[in-house]
Structure formats: structure tokens, C-alpha cells
């Protein structure tokens, strides 16, 4: 393997996806920020859910919001629905893996909350069901996706679809967009 060529190729692809994401997602990002700010201002919360690496992103972003992103400030209400192992295993065992997030959304969401499903493919059934349940509960169902957006197009709005077919590049943009949301939300709420 030519390590130098690999290194350069990965950065070239990353840079191309950054540029394409920047060109494509400013409008839905702005709408997501407005919805998040409105939800928090009205006493709502942000619920995040995803599988695998996207689950880790949910935990990361919920922590940035509840604890701090750049500076010490008031907490922002957010929760990752990916962290309670008892709830995850009980639901998987008793109701099925497809219901993991819908069941927690049913228990925790209220009208005016923001639910963000994260999926690189946009096809994960448990993400789709979580978004459907969020809508039923009167929450806004939003998402981060990739590739062609998959089935999430039908259930998430705003929906930030990273213009790439490479899972690693999509995940890189999801955490970038998520951290941008944290920073912009702090500014929008006047917390920094």
C-alpha cells in the first residue's frame, strides 16, 4: 500500500464532501437551528437517536448541549436515547429492535420537542419508527442522513442529507453539523 497516496486520497475525498455539504445544507441547517431554539425557549428538549457510530454521535451531541460546548453556560435540555442499556435491551427483547427509539420517544417526547434521528443510510427501521412516533407525539421529527437519504426523506423535516455515499465521510459531516448546531444554538439562545 502506498501510505502517502492513501493519506492524500482520504483528505481529498473529505474536502470534496465538506465543500458539497457546505453548498447543499445551509438552508436546512438554518431551519433546524430555528426549530431547536424555539423548542428550548418554550421549555422543550432535544432527543437524539441513532445506531452504531450514529449512536455515539447522539451521546456526544447530547453531552455538548447539557454540559457545555465552548463556554460555561446554562444547560440545554437534550438526551441521547442510545445510552440506557436496560431500556435498550428490554425493548429489544420484549418489543423488538425496531421499536427501540419509538418506545422511548413515546415515553419522553411532548409537543414542541425536537427529535433528531441520525442514519448514514436513511433506511434504519428503528430510526424511521422513532421519527414517526415523534410526529405522533407532536414533536418535530428532523434528521441527519447520507447517500440518497433513504426512507427518512418521508419522515424527517428538516433533513440534512450529506451528499456522499461513503459512510465515513457522512459520519464526519454529521458530527461537524451536530457540533455546529451546538455552537449556533448557544449563540442563538444568548448563552455565550
Query: Could you report the per-residue pLDDT of 26-70, keeping only the tens digit for each?
Result: 999 999 999 999 999 999 999 999 999 999 999 999 999 999 999
Convert the pLDDT of each residue in 162-183 to its tens digit. 999 999 999 999 999 999 999 9
Nearest CA to 160 out of 170, 169, 168 is that of 170
Convert the pLDDT of each residue in 126-155 to its tens digit. 999 999 999 999 999 999 999 999 999 999
pLDDT score at 178: 98
CATH for 28: 3.40.50.10490
pLDDT score at 71: 87
pTM beyond 0.95: the answer is: yes
Quote the strand ranges of the chain, DSSP E.
Answer: 46-50, 78-80, 114-118, 140-146, 159-162
Full residue range of the structural domain in which residue 111 is found:
3-188
Number of domains in the chain: 1
Convert the pLDDT of each residue in 105-117 to its tens digit. 999 999 999 999 9
| Residue partners of 19: CB distance under 8 A and separation at least 6 | none
pLDDT score at 12: 98
Amino acid at each position: 500500500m502506498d501510505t502517502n497516496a492513501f493519506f492524500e486520497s482520504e483528505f481529498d475525498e473529505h474536502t470534496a464532501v465538506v465543500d458539497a455539504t457546505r453548498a447543499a445544507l445551509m438552508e436546512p441547517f438554518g431551519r433546524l437551528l430555528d426549530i431547536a431554539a424555539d423548542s428550548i425557549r418554550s421549555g422543550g428538549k432535544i432527543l437524539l437517536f441513532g445506531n452504531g457510530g450514529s449512536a455515539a454521535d447522539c451521546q456526544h451531541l447530547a453531552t455538548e448541549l447539557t454540559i457545555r460546548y465552548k463556554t460555561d453556560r446554562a444547560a440545554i435540555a437534550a438526551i441521547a436515547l442510545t445510552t440506557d442499556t436496560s431500556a435498550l435491551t428490554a425493548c429489544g427483547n420484549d418489543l423488538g429492535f425496531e421499536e427501540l427509539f419509538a418506545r422511548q420517544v413515546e415515553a419522553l417526547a411532548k409537543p414542541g420537542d425536537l427529535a433528531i434521528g441520525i442514519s448514514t443510510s436513511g433506511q434504519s427501521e428503528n430510526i424511521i419508527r422513532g421519527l414517526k412516533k415523534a410526529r405522533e407525539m407532536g414533536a418535530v421529527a428532523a434528521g441527519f442522513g447520507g447517500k440518497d437519504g433513504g426512507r427518512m426523506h418521508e419522515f424527517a423535516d428538516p433533513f440534512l442529507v450529506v451528499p456522499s455515499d461513503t459512510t465515513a465521510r457522512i459520519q464526519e459531516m454529521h458530527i461537524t453539523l451536530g457540533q455546529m448546531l451546538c455552537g449556533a444554538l448557544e449563540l442563538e439562545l444568548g448563552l455565550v
